[in-house]
Structure 1
Amino acid sequence: MGTLYFVFRPGRKAVPPKTEQPPPDLLAPREPARGAGDQEEGGVATLPRPPVEEKEEPPAPPVETKPELELPPPSAGRMVRLRARLARSQNALGRGLLDLLSRDKLDDDTWDEVEETLITADVGVAPARAMVEELRTKVKVLGTRTPEELRGLLREELLKQVGGDMDRTLRTAPTGERPAVLMMVGVNGTGKTTTCGKLARSLIGDGRTVVLGAADTFRAAAADQLETWGARVGATVVRKEEGADPASVAFDAVATGLDLKVDTVIVDTAGRLHTKTGLMDELGKVKRVIEKKAPVDEVILVLDATTGQNGMRQARVFAEVVNITGIALTKLDGTAKGGIVINVQRELGVPVKLVGLGEGPDDLAPFDPEVFVDAIIGDGKSA
């Protein structure tokens, strides 16, 4: 029987059993489908990156630029400079009167026409009759008939009726360290707030410092309007939210004026003419509260010169409610009839101190009776 020998060779490993290999294409890494936006980096396909959303930058806040301060012209001579404008709207009265007085025969009918001309110019019935009687007597006694003589007589009489000797000083200068305090009163629509702004502008043109108090808190537009006026000329404006207590605003305005040591404080008040009682309560309270800080130097009633007799009715109500010290007549350059200056002074017993002769910012002027009368009768002088 034969012998079997097993020979072991060192260093050789057993051969592992055969396993079935997957097809070659299954071993290769699967490439994703590439689109138009795919890129290859170093030969390796990459998926498209999602678009980056650009964040919108918030708009830069608007840069607030303070309006360039204006330097208004001084108030001196304003009435003279505006005389030509005044003459254009008022000299129809003077021409009509001179034409009547220059007639060959000055009978009763002519004098009735003179009186009627004066009444239609808003002079008022009583002042018109007084003027006619005075002129009639002078013409009869003196026998003056030349145009120059008649113009002189008419000028003299108009000046007397306008009140050439009335004190028209507007108290706007400080007393010691206390500013002058002015209250502006009047019905809404007469130009009251605008008059406050124009007066502040005029005073600053004269070298004064001004605080404006927006105490008409029932009209938001009034405070905005006043702030615009103040910003243009550098006047400080004190205001509160719409509907705030007007007396509180007025008090704060005067307190601010005292703190800043300004020359003048101008307080704009509400102009609601509902009932006399309500008006009295409101204006009376504002004045009393102001006077806890400082006396009120002026209470100026602002009247629209174009309203005629309706304006006179309003004036009487305010005169009964508060102690008026002066009148500002606005819109005297338009359809207004200059005779209202005579009538309103006669009715209220206080002088016209300011007149508005246009829409421009510098069209408010201290009232000058002589310039006014000369503009009416046309004295031949240049403006």
Structure 2
Amino acid sequence: MTDYLGIIAIAVVVALLAVGGLFLLFRPKGKGERPVEPREAPPLSDDTQAGPARLAEDEGGVTTTVPPPAAPVEPAVVVPPVEVPPPSAGRMVRLRARLARSQTTLGKSLLELLSRDRLDDEVWDEIEDTLITADVGVGPTRAMVEELRTKVKVLGSRTPDEVRGLLREQLLTLVGSDLDRTLRVAAHGERPAVVLVVGVNGTGKTTTTGKLARVLVGDGKQVLLGAADTFRAAAADQLQTWGERVGAETVRKDEGADPASVAFDAVAKGIDDKVDVVIVDTAGRLHTKTGLMDELGKVKRVIEKRATVDEVLLVLDATTGQNGLRQAQVFAEVVDVTGIALTKLDGTAKGGIVISVQRELGVPVKLVGLGEGADDLAPFDAEVFVDAILGD
């Protein structure tokens, strides 16, 4: 009986709880309470209206506006700083060790031969062969050997220092320590100096033009470049890159444009901008001498309508030896070459090319390339060159 009454009590409690829950569920809202109304979305701002907006509903049923994703920010273009090259003074002295590594074979061979106790005809033939192999040229070699034989007879016995001094004196005479190797790059009042760079493609002509701009900027000059080699697509791009590194502007036109027109515009802009030097890079095609003569002759004539061509630099590759000389002679017949820029001199033991090219063309070597670095072009110094050949 007791168990039966307990079950009835539990059932009553459960029933009361169920009725209470239904009452709470369907209870009418009180007078002080207001239903939650959806809020209006705020007006779109100018930034938000630029892109599509979307609506979203939060957990309480409130509609809100979600702004569009921000536009991606493009990375800023980083302009490389303009470089400040070292001045030309002392460049070849700083590069002497590099030059010596490639040239001391010639000097050591000559010193060893001249230091022998007995200098018979066989030894003199060896000396002659050594000089010819080094691209000194047959004519200069015979003249040097003849002079050496005469002085050795006068000296009689020879100490190592005397042999070295004797050889140094003869090499300096052949290289031409008294030649004027000054680059004519002084402005003429309101008119800039004009340098025309010529040479066969593949000798490093355009690179040498860019490096020469660095040399002149390092000396405090304002330079403008003219990309008149319009037959090679990469030539103008390459030259412009060199110029941008040192803050020198490049005048250029489309591939295939008239080279003389580019040269004229470069000189005209150089006058307007009051720069110190205009350097014009020219094409180096050599299929016919007549075509080359017409093209370079026209470039020079057109420039001279506005300014004087102060310097015509012929770029030669030192590693081509006597072949380079034959190419050089063609250019020398076409234009009035005033100086030679000899590239890749560090890559050959045949330093005698300096002697033979000057003798054959009758113009001095004014610049030498002693490596692939941006500042490896240096004004030629005869004494530094000869001392590098003879070693320490």
Name the TM tier (shorter chain). 0.7 to 0.9
Given that residues 85 and 333 in structure 1 are in contact (C-alpha distance below 8 angstroms), is that contact kept between their aligned partners in structure 2?
yes
- Which residue does 2:145 correspond to in 1? 132
SS of the residue aligned with 1:297? strand
Change (3 A) 1:280 1:56: farther
Asked if the contact 1:144/1:150 (under 8 Å) is kept, the reply is no
Counterpart in the other structure of 2:297: 284
Match of 2:226 in 1: 213
Aligned residues: CA RMSD: 1.9
Unaligned runs of 5+ in 1: 1-38, 40-53
**Alignment partner of 2:374 out of 346, 361, 371:** 361
- Give the C-alpha shift of residue 143 in structure 1: 1.7
Amino acid at match of 1:347: E
Change (3 A) 1:295 1:144: farther
Aligned to 1:153: 166
Show the counterpart of 1:181.
Answer: 194
1:115 aligned partner: 128
Match of 1:320 in 2: 333
Residue number in structure 2 paired with 1:310? 323
Aligned residue pairs, count = 330
Cα offsets for 1:280-300 (capped at 9, x unmatched): 000000000000010000000
The structural deviation recorded for 1:55 is 10
Match of 1:300 in 2: 313
Query: 2:5 corresponds to which residue?
Result: none
For 1:175 and 1:245, the matched residues in 2 are separated by 27
Aligned AA (1:367): F
Contact 1:332 1:357 in 2 (8 A): yes
- Distance of 1:149 and 1:321 partners within structure 2: 45
Partner AA of 1:252 in structure 2 = D
Amino acid at match of 2:363: V
- 1:82 maps to a residue whose letter is L
Instruction: Give the aligned residue type for 1:99.
Output: E
After TM superposition, the runs of 4+ consecutive aligned structure 1 residues lying more than 4 A away are 54-57, 59-62
Name the TM-score, length of structure 1 as normaliser: 0.83
- Find the aligned partners of 2:188 and 2:90 in 1 and give their Cα distance: 25
TM-score, normalised by the number of residues in structure 2: 0.81
Q: Which residue of 2 aligns with 1:224?
A: 237
- Label 1:226 to 1:76 Cα distance change in 2 as closer, same or farther (>3 A): same
1:197 aligns with 2:207: no
Residue in 2 that maps onto 1:233: 246
Matching residue's letter, 2:194: V
Q: CA deviation at 1:67?
A: 1.6
Structure 2 equivalent of residue 43 of structure 1: none
Measured against aligned partners, the alpha-carbon deviations of 1:127-167 in whole angstroms (never above 9, x if no partner) come to 00100000000000122411100000000000000011111
Deviation at 1:336, TM superposition (A): 4.7
Which residues in structure 2 correspond to 1:163-174 (within 5 Å)? 163-174=176-187
Q: How far did residue 175 of structure 1 move?
A: 1.3
Q: CA offset at residue 335 of structure 1?
A: 2.2
| Structure 1 or 2: more helix by fraction | 2
Distance in 2 separating the partners of 1:242 and 1:66: 26
Matched to 1:324, the amino acid is: V
- Assess, with a 3 A threshold, how the Cα gap between structure 1 residues 219 and 55 changes in structure 2: closer, same or farther: farther
Unaligned runs of 5+ in 2: 1-56, 58-67
Q: What is the CA–CA distance in structure 2 between the aligned matches of 1:56 and 1:314, rounded to whole Å?
A: 63
Candidates 340, 343, 349, aligned match of 1:330 = 343
**Take 1:55 and 1:362, find their aligned partners in 2: how far apart are those partners?**
50
CA spacing shift, 1:56–1:336, aligned 2, 3 Å: farther
Give the residue type in structure 2 aligned to 1:266.
Answer: I
